[in-house]
Amino acid sequence: MLEQNISTVNNDVKTLVKDAQALFTAATALTGEKAEELRGRGMRALDTALAKAQEAQISAVAATKEAAKQADEYVKENPWRSIALAAGVGLLIGVIIGRK
């Protein structure tokens, strides 16, 4: 779910940035009130993109902290399983590296 949200926000940000770039490009050809209006719309689009990126970052940080908390709780509740799992992963990595 988090990956889907991040992907959606990422696509939204890319679209907003492309729209802002198009507005700025169009604004360079114009002068006067029209140019100012296009520049303002472009700046608002960039501000929206920045806000969405910040929301995605906050969401990702919160999800990472929650995952770390759950991992910590699991290790505290099951210390021997955690040790066995870590040893198994270490053995697997050692075998893979040893073959090369």
How high is the pLDDT of residue 46? 78
Residue 20: per-residue pLDDT: 73
DSSP letter (8 states) at residue 11: H
Task: Return the pLDDT at 5.
Answer: 67
Residue 70: per-residue pLDDT: 92
For the chain of 100 residues, list the mean pLDDT of each consecutive stretch of 10: 69 75 71 75 79 82 90 90 91 90
> What are the C-alpha distances in Å from 98 to residues 16, 85, 88, 91, 94?
48, 20, 15, 10, 6
Cα distance between residue 44 and residue 50, in whole Å = 10
| pLDDT recorded at residue 39 | 74
